[in-house]
Chains A and B, each alone.
Chain A
Amino acid sequence: MIAFVLRRILQTVAVLGVVALIAFSLFNYTGDPIAFMLGQDATMEDRVRLRADLGLDQPAYVQFGRFVGNALQGDFGVSLRQGRKVSTLLRERLPATLELSFAAALIALLAGIPAGVYTALRRHSVLAHVLLAASLVGVSLPTFLIGILLILVFAVQLGWLPSFGRGEVVALGWWTTGLLTPSGLKSLILPSITLALFQATLIMRLVRAEMLEVLRTDYIKFARARGLTDRAIHFGHALKNTLVPVITITGLQLGAIIAFAIITETVFQWPGMGLLFIQAVTFADIPVMAAYLCFIAVVFVLLNLIVDLLYYAVDPRLRVERVVGH
């Protein structure tokens, strides 16, 4: 167990090191930062002095060490386009992205699990076929198109919901939330549904497949033989056993949701980190790109680690190896 955990943590650190190296190379080998900072009419001495001041004349590994040190303290330098500290920019945008992502994950679970259970239990009903067909269409619809269609129907044609921005936000310390105002909540509806739809179809298909699998097993037959009610069998025995993979996948997909928020945020002009990143890509704003890359890497790697460890804790079959070893 301890060896397993240590190995996983070591892998995690290695992956983060690679990502940091990529981010560092982005910083150092794409254009000359000195030229960015000083402009056209700086003298040669100015350049040399600034280069020495910034430590850019030192060997690459020293610079990389300093980059990692700074990154660990959340310092990614200054945005080339906005002239502000990257860490401040990211911190301002973080609450918007996280609120959107968690709302989407919640919707995906609340829609996906019941739909999956239903399509598994009533396999041949009309509604089950409709849901399955809809899920196939859902997979074929690109996220941005879903957003556009929702805007067209609910914002342009019906005029019920706002189509861009976060609405009014309330500041709680440095965290800004749109969850406490009516306009903030209304603004959240369309983007979160857009982001949730793909994940909901994924969860639905997963729950359905797992349920069908579990319903075929012997202990379900025994449960029936014991005369338990359908409700107890379906929800007490079958659903409970399907939830382990569902939790795993949802955990892993949370990272994907945060990454896919880039698209949703662009469609809805949602002032989150994804929109910041897209603007950085369009304007080749390297410090922002590098910082976002590191942030996403940390999120993904941590989620992977947590899910792996949880899996190990939840599923006793993975521990068999250890027992055999005794």
Chain B
Amino acid sequence: MNDELVSMPYAARLRAAWDGDVTWSFRHSPVAIVSAVVMLVCVVAAVFAPWLAPSNPYDLASLNLLDSLSPPLWETGGKAGYLLGTDDQGRDVLSTIMYGARVSLMVGIASVLLAVVVGVGLGLLAGYVGGRTDAAIMRVADVQLSFPAILIALLIDGVARAVLPHESHGELALVVLILAIAASNWVQYARTVRGSTMVEKNKEYVQAARVIGVAPIGIMRRHLLPNVLGPVLVLATINIATAIITEATLSFLGVGVPPTQPSLGTLIRVGNDYLFSGEWWITVFPGAALVIMVLSTNLLGDWLRDALNPKLR
């Protein structure tokens, strides 16, 4: 019952916002509609790849080496059934892209979620508790913020490689990658949440909760969290695109996803070796898929930021 009471006004507010300006702005922004549709297509194609893809590129029985390195259908020499051509192993490029997008999306979303959880948690703590805790957390954040995220992710990945036993690299590579990207991104959320927590914590509802004896953890979770989450959601949407690029870059550099379970970045890395012998499609199509995914996420994020910004209304 208590939960209902607490969440009701927030849900109602969300509802009102949804019925109001945001949907109106969405309906009147062709860019937002197109990018939402494109993103939806990408996500559906990636998530349901095992059912939608023309073939399973990692089922060795279905591969035919005679079909390897055939160009896209519309080029001379293109083979029926391989719309975007095949790679050196005879795998259908369209299918590898769909399976690869799956890994890319998974890593992107998982690392953003992890970064949000860690960042929001530490931000709440720093903002609510203040004092030395705040100083310690924010100093770490400052130091980290002065280095590019990709460098921090690379470093964490490199250290993990040196510390972990060699055999477990393949299995743990995805986990390490998600951790590395999340660790390089939590600061933004921590800063945002800390700022809004410091504003919220002096409001009456928080003081009231304190007076009736709610523990600090309870205040942070029940009362502050719902009220500081708004800007974080916008930031997270935009950051999924960044996380996908970071993942692709690390995989391209050869320190990300292992070739046994390739992401779009790994596919581009592998295809890069065939660039000079003229088999451009192995690289270009995964690259195009990556750009389309990232661009549509960016456009949608931009629109969302503007739509939720009261100054621009």
Contact = CB atoms under 8 A, between A and B. Distances in A.
B159 interface: yes
A278 B157 CA distance: 11
A36 to B, nearest CB: 11
Contacts of B290: 142, 145
Contacts of B150: 259-260, 262-263
Interface in A236-290: 255-256, 259-260, 262-263, 266-267, 277-278, 280-282, 284, 286, 289
A156 interface: yes
Given A259-B150, A300-B147, A140 B255 contact: no
A145 B298 CA distance: 17
Contact of A152 (B147, B162, B275): B275
Classify the interface of chain B: helix, strand, loop or mixed: helix
B298 A139 contact: yes
A309 interface: no
B146 A300 contact: yes
Contacts of B253: 144, 262-263, 266, 278, 281
A79 interface: no
B270 to A, nearest CB: 12
A93 B123 CA distance: 40
Interface in A283-324: 284, 286, 289, 293, 296-297, 300-301, 304
Contact of A149 (B147, B151, B287, B302): B287
B103 to A, nearest CB: 16
Contact of A140 (B157, B162, B295): B295
A284 B156 CA distance: 11
A284 B154 CA distance: 12
A89 interface: no
Nearest to A15: B143
Interface in B230-256: 241, 245, 248-249, 252-255
Contact of A141 (B163, B276, B291): B291
B49 interface: no
Contacts of B20: none
A42 interface: no
Contacts of A266: 252-253
Interface string A135-162: 0110111111100110110001000000
Interface string A117-150: 0000000000000000000110111111100110
Contacts of B248: 142, 144
Contacts of A232: none
A218 B148 CA distance: 38
B257 to A, nearest CB: 14
A281 B249 contact: no
Contacts of B74: none
Given A148-B275, A304-B146, 10 more contacts: A137-B295, A140-B298, A142-B249, A256-B148, A266-B252, A278-B254, A281-B253, A282-B254, A289-B158, A296-B147
19 contacts: A18-B143, A31-B162, A136-B298, A137-B291, A140-B294, A140-B298, A142-B249, A142-B294, A144-B253, A148-B268, A148-B272, A152-B280, A259-B147, A266-B253, A281-B154, A281-B255, A282-B161, A286-B162, A300-B146
